[in-house]
């Protein structure tokens, strides 16, 4: 749920008034506590935030004849992306690592093209979180692009690592994108206002640090 932010957050101590809630969540007119459950029409249970990749590193081993189309990019539209090609039998191997600063679900995309003149080739993609594999996937191409989409949940501070291992004949190309709510964006949906109940007894003190913005 998304609402236009008016204030930074309700204070974390002291006396809270209904006017404080009305101001923070951009509501007008009279409201009652019974209208202010988390996930209702006034108080959101999730907000949109922008994730950032930190502690970034990436390497490529295109032994033999090869080239770079786009190279490695961090925090440019999404958290991480690259587009690389190699040819004439060159190895096509990449690896990367970065941390995420937001807790949420992240999405990624792989694409692999192998120009084998009718002879298919299978590349391997691996993604790990804090050293534990979350994906180990073969991706076979036969003169056309084969794609793979996936997602992984991560907490702020988690380290995401990955690798791609393929080859080339005439030529091969592989692309990778890692983002938030989609592979092409840094926007991620994060939980908010956990102390505000969704039903039952509700009290003004439940709104300490409640917020309509990140």
pLDDT tens string 18-41: 999 999 998 887 889 999 999 999
Whether residue 31 is found in the same domain as residue 85: no
- pLDDT band with cut points at 50, 70 and 90 for residue 61: confident
Total tally of structural domains belonging to the chain: 2
Strand order across the beta sheet in which 159-166 lies:
53-61, 92-100, 159-166, 121-129, 132-141
What are 29's two structure tokens? 């007119």
Structural domain of residue 39, as residue ranges? 1-45+192-214
pTM: 0.84
Indicate whether 99 and 133 sit together in one domain: yes
pLDDT bracket for residue 2 (50, 70, 90): very low
Q: Is the dihedral of CA 147, 148, 154, 160 positive or negative?
A: negative
Q: How confident is the model at residue 148 (pLDDT cuts 50, 70, 90)?
A: very high
86, 165: one domain = yes
Let me know whether 17 and 91 are in one domain: no
Average pLDDT, integer, range 74-95: 87
């Amino acid at each position: 749920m998304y609402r236009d932010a008016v204030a930074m957050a309700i204070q974390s101590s002291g006396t809270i008034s209904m006017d404080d809630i009305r101001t923070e969540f951009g509501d007008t007119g009279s409201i009652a506590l019974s209208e202010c459950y988390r996930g209702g029409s006034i108080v959101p249970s999730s907000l949109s935030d922008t994730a950032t990749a930190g502690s970034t590193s990436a390497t490529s081993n295109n032994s033999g004849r090869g080239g770079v189309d786009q190279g490695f990019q961090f925090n440019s539209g999404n958290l991480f992306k690259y587009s690389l090609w190699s040819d004439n039998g060159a190895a096509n191997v990449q690896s990367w690592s970065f941390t995420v600063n937001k807790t949420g679900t992240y999405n990624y995309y792989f694409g692999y093209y192998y120009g084998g003149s009718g002879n298919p080739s299978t590349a391997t993609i691996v993604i790990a979180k804090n050293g534990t594999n979350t994906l180990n996937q073969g991706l076979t191409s036969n003169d056309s692009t084969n794609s793979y989409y996936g997602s992984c949940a991560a907490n702020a501070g988690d380290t995401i690592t990955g690798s791609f291992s393929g080859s080339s004949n005439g030529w091969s190309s592989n692309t990778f994108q890692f983002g938030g709510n989609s592979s092409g964006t840094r926007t991620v949906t994060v939980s908010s206002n956990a102390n505000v109940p969704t039903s039952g007894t509700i009290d003004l003190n439940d709104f300490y640090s409640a917020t309509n913005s990140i």
